[in-house]
Every structure is written in C-alpha cells, then in structure tokens.
Structure 1
Amino acid sequence: MRLFVALQLEDRMKDALIQFIDSVRPHTQEGRFSHRENLHLTLSFIGETGKAAQAKRALHQVQAEPFVISTAGVGRFRRSTGDILWAGIAKNAQLEALAQQVRQTLEQEGFKLEDRPFAAHLTLGREVLLEEGFELKTFSKNLPSVQMPVERVSLMKSERVNGRLVYTEVDFVVLNKNKP
C-alpha cells in the first residue's frame, strides 16, 4: 500500500486551483494535471509499505492546534521530462511544526523517510511542458490568495484504479486546541 500524510483541501481552495490550472493548460504543450479530487498538501510521503497500522498509530500521536493556511504564488520544479507545476503556501510556522511532528511520529514508528526539507506546495501538474516564451510568473496573478482552516490531518492511500490515480483517506486525526 502506498501511503502519505496530507492536508485535504476545502472546496473553495480546490476551485481556485482548478481555475488556475484551466487558465494555464492552453499554454502547455503537454502535461498531466491534478484532478480536483486529488488536490492536497503532502506533509510526509511514506511510500510503499505494509505497515498501515503503524502509520495510523503515528498519525494519532499528532497534537496541534487548528490554524489557517493560504495560497501564495505559483512556480515549478524543473525536471528533464517536464516540470512539476505547483501553487505555493504562504510561510507558516504552525504548518512547518505540524509537518515536522508528523515526520517525527512516523520515524518513531520505524518509517524511513526521504531526507529532504519540507517545502509546502500544492502539486498542480506533472511532466508539464510550457509553450516557448510563456512566463509563469506573469500568469501567477490568475491564482488569488485563498485561505483555509487546517483542522485535521489525513493518512492517504495512493493507488491506480482503471488507469487513474486515486487518493483515498485511510484514517484521520482532528486537530484540537484542547489537547496538551
């Protein structure tokens, strides 16, 4: 089972992201764009594992107060096969602390995670080739800043169903300011 820990997005944020994708798509030569139902913010990628019970146990050790995130700009990670197009998340100490806590609880349960710093972003497309001369920065105004409360963290399963990537929530924990 391929697992990751993520924040699921509210409809309002998904709507803004899909509108942005739709505005950029005509300026691409190719690319695989995220489907609305798959938009999320990954806190920690676990990968292929048979240890779902340990991942659930790690998730339920997470303790944090609810907070708010907001979108902030767009960019791309350059790859030889095409870029990863992303929407940024405004710098947020609570989000970074949550991601660090998720990582620590997973490692305490025996998971070996990628050794890469957390970079809060929302993947909009993979293997994207933009038209020659298209300036993504000038187009970033098409993505408004959208705020969203973060009130729960989800353990997600990634699988292919009839050739399509599907993300399914396996478990979740509600963030609660009453927790110690």
Structure 2
Amino acid sequence: MNRKGNGIMIHDFKEAMGSYPTGVTVVTTKTEEGNPVGMTVNSFTSVSIEPLLVSWSIDKRSGSLEFFMDANRFAVNILAADQADICWTFASRDETDRFGKTEWTDTEYDLPVIDGAFAQFECRKVQQIEAGDHYILIGEVQKITKKDKEPLLYYKREIGPIEDIAKKLKDS
C-alpha cells in the first residue's frame, strides 16, 4: 500500500514506531573538504557479530544525504541522558554550525565524535541499500568507545533518560 492511498496505515505505523523506545544517536562524518556533518538518527541497530556490523537509515530528502553517500566512514554517537540539547541541535532543519554548538573531537579515523556520548562506534561503510524513501547504510565497526553513563532514549516523540521513560511506561 502506498503513502497516498493509505494515510491511516502511515499514521498507525508512525504511532506504533514512536511507541517503541529506542536510543538516540547522532551519526557523523566529514565532507570531502573535511567539514564535519551530522544528524540525529533513531534507526540505528546491530546487524552482525561476525563481522561486527551496524546499520542506520537516512531519508532521501535529507540535506546531509550526499555527504553520507560519498563518505567511506561514519561514526554513530549514542547520546548520553544529559545530551538532549545535542539531539535537538542535530535534528533541526537548520544545519548551519551544528558542530559550533557542540563539543566534539576528531578521532584517529578522522571522524568527528560527540564528546561525552554514552558510546561511539567508528565505522567503515561497507554497503548502502536503497529502501523505499530511505537508504540503509551498513558499517563495519572499527572502534568502540563507551562511557559509564546512562543513554538518552526516544519514546512517544519525547526524549529523556531511562528513569523518565520508565515513568511514562508505568503511567500509560
């Protein structure tokens, strides 16, 4: 069924997916000129243990699409519970100076990573798959950094720490 022919199904799909708690990530890379690029993503998931593969998806209409399609590497930054402001910065349609508003570091793989993130996965892109109105990018994990923190979660169009999400689940 297509988007125009079944708006009710799309609404239900969005409601169901939004009611499924996920982590919040900012995926980053660099342009050919070396400028950092990033966007908030909640479609991040593990794919394989051998080899270590992860995936995430990007909308074909994204202003950052060409940079991620051209890049050979990307980093997935799982945001910490205290990084909601970073989530909103990288989710904004205003893509100007996102990294100027965020503390970040260049890695040995020349990837920009968000300082203070719960975890960071530095990846070599191994595949990109066209899937409907998105592309799925698959990366082989080259390095993992994890902090002793709580992750930021997304649930019912809101973000927050585990305790806040658990309270929402209990109260709903």
Query: TM-score, with normalisation over the residues of structure 2?
Result: 0.29
More helix by share: 1
TM-score of the superposed pair, with normalisation by structure 1? 0.28
